[in-house]
A = this chain, B = another copy of it.
Amino acid sequence: MATIKRIALLTSGGDAPGMNAAIRAVVLTAAACRIEVIGFEHGYIGLLEQEYRTLLPQHVHNIIQRGGTILKSARCPALQTPEGPKLAADNLQQLNIDALIVIGGDGSFRGALEIARYYDGQIIGVPGTIDNDVDGTTNTIGYATAIDTALDAIDKIRDTADAFERIFLVELMGRHSGYISLAAGIAGGAEQIICPEFSQITPKDLRQITTPIQHAQLLMGKASYIIVVAENSYPGGTTALAEALTKAIGIECRACILGHIQRGGSPVGADRILATKLGAYAVEALQQGAHLQMAGEVHGEVTLYPLAKTGDRTKAIDPYLVRWQQQVGSY
């Protein structure tokens, strides 16, 4: 096992709060181990176009609390061309980079696996995405902050919903998973939560949504009623769903699409701590020879998980909360 002297680092895919904290941890840990760190900018684009800079401890001072990523991020279609991965590997080789750390989601990890086919060095992933849809780690970096951002919005909408005794649909992010929606829905006291894991909603069968609304109106009288909806849960989107519900029950239902504010913001403590642990552990693991692994945290302990399996979607939303919500949520 060769000694690691020079590490490259990049952030890829959708930005997530805590990416900067992970960058900082990599740089500080590497500095303590006398390893040099090169940061590529704009994700894999910077790797393909040789856009990089050396990262020293002073460059990461006072960034632990910043949203976004100082290395910028991007989607990189060029990596998916036949020549992309080879060019990336050549660039790493040419810069004498012993190991590459990729901070991103499972899509970014797939890119890393392609590069690995041509690259002699080690590759390790650090899970950074608000969607939490990465296997091998209980939480991804950014997920905790996204929950609190969504929650802050739900709390605000609750004020208006309460003042007007109105029905609101709040659409949250999550790509094809309901992690953010379930967590923010439970924490926001949402009367209903609609996410891919629960069941498919079709325009022809809205009764599973309308029945609990009507039941609650009978039981509680008019009151605020909030339905958290994961994106991609309804054909045509949440605005279309709100219109369909309005028609179905004869009471106005308003949609609020939270959108990109869920990606930004100063990371909460949990994300900064997770990012610090995983960034530090990635550097340690590389020194111990780890390759094609993701640095994750399971049961409070750092752990490695095969990069190739991070997109298998064997992880599931909390079954205890799912069951509770369905039994009790609309009381």
Using a CB–CB cutoff of 8 Å, the interface residues on chain A facing chain B are 11, 14-15, 17, 19, 21, 24, 28-29, 31-32, 42, 57-58, 61-62, 64-69, 72-74, 138, 144, 147-149, 151, 153, 155-160, 162-165, 168, 183-184, 186-189, 220, 223-224, 254, 256-266, 268-270, 272-273, 276-277, 280-281, 299-302, 318, 320-321, 324, 327-328, 331
Contact = CB atoms under 8 A, between A and B. Distances in A.
Given A165-B72, A183-B273, A264 B324 contact: no
A280 B324 contact: yes
Name, among A64, A165, A260, A272, the residue most crowded by chain B CB atoms within 10 Å (CB to CB).
A260
A302 B320 contact: yes
Contacts of A17: 159
Contacts of A24: 189
B273 A15 contact: no
Contacts of A254: 260
Given A269-B151, A270-B144, A163 B68 contact: yes
22 contacts: A15-B160, A15-B163, A15-B164, A32-B327, A57-B220, A64-B189, A68-B158, A72-B164, A148-B268, A151-B268, A155-B264, A157-B261, A159-B265, A160-B264, A186-B276, A187-B273, A187-B276, A256-B261, A257-B259, A276-B321, A276-B324, A277-B320
